[in-house]
Amino acid sequence: MLIASVLLGYLLGSIPAGVVVGRMVGIDLRKSGSGNIGFTNAFRVLGDAKNGKWLSVLILLWDMGKGTLAVWLAPHISSQPMAPIGAGFAAFLGHLYPVWLRFRGGKGVAVGLGVCLGLSWLLGVAMLSLWAIVFAATRVSSLSALTAYFFLPLMAAFLTRNGILPPEDLLYLVILSLLVWLHHHQNIRRLLRGEEGPLRKKEKIR
């Protein structure tokens, strides 16, 4: 059933990896640094804790994995063509608006990358490569994410035109990109003011 695959996707996406992993070392990411539960804030806050770097990487992989897993499980639950993108998009929304955290979650960068990887390895690798190139040049995580998601609709349109992605995926990926940008509105303001610094451990968070 399509509804079942979408519901499973939302529940997978709503599992707050940052909160769970943070509590393993007695830190609530929602009350530390920028207050975000994603990889960037985890790296800044947990960086000097015991195994903090690896814990922040675990959060990144967990968030990516739940997006990919939602897409991969969907065809086993529903035969509807919309099931993979429906479940993946629901996982993305679950991360942004998790029921367990009163619908206040992360910005969706990692889980969105996971969804892209689950839909098409070409799209996933292209997104990760673009993120990595910009990050290597600037060390600014938000700029890397915004750049990758700016080009996501264009890459998805190209893959759709060449029959690699089904047409129904394109609209959802466009909306996904817009939501990532909307949730980075504070970062965008800081970038425009030249105040968004490179990613470092325990840097001052504005």
Residue located via tokens 């675990």? 58
- For the purposes of burial, counting CB atoms within 10 Å of the CB of 21, is it exposed (0-12), middle (13-18) or buried (19 or more)? buried
Range of the domain at 23: 2-193
Q: Which of the four pLDDT bands, split at 50, 70 and 90, describes residue 171?
A: very high
What is the chain's Cα-based Rg?
Answer: 16
pLDDT band at 203, cuts 50/70/90? very low
CA distance 36 to 30: 6
d(CA 178, CA 40): 20
Instruction: Summarize the confidence of residues 34-51 as an average pLDDT.
Output: 77
Q: Which of 12-26, 42-56, 162-176 has the highest mean pLDDT?
A: 162-176
In a domain, 205, yes or no: no
Q: Is the pLDDT at 23 greater than 80, yes or no?
A: yes
Task: Specify the residue for token string 């539960």.
Answer: 37
Segment 103-120 shows an average pLDDT of 95
**pLDDT given for residue 48 in this prediction:** 63
**Helix or strand run (H / E) with residue 52:** helix 52-77
**156 part of a folded domain:** yes
User: How many structural domains compose the chain?
Assistant: 1
pLDDT at 50: 65
Q: Is the dihedral of CA 136, 138, 142, 148 positive or negative?
A: negative
The neighbour count for residue 70, using CB atoms within 10 Å, is 32
Amino acid at 173: L
Query: What's the pLDDT score for residue 185?
Result: 93
Length of the chain: 206
Q: Is the pLDDT of residue 206 over 70?
A: no
In a domain, 86, yes or no: yes
pLDDT beyond 80 at 202 = no
pLDDT tens digit string along 71-86?
999 999 999 999 999 9
**CA gap 92, 190 in Å, rounded:** 25
pLDDT for the residue numbered 123: 97
For the question of whether the overall pTM of this predicted structure is more than 0.85, the answer is yes
Residue 10 domain flag:
yes
**DSSP E strands: which ranges in the chain?**
none
Contact 67, 38 (CB under 8 A): no
Asked whether the predicted pLDDT for residue 11 surpasses 50, the reply is yes
pLDDT at 45: 82
Per DSSP, 163 falls in state T
Residue 206 lies in a domain: no
Q: Are 38 and 104 in contact (CB under 8 A)?
A: no
Choose the weakest-confidence range: 10-14, 39-43, 171-175: 39-43
pLDDT confidence of 200, banded at 50, 70, 90?
A: low
Between 22 and 118, residue with greater pLDDT: 118
112, pLDDT greater than 90: yes
Question: pLDDT-based confidence at 205, cuts 50/70/90?
Answer: very low
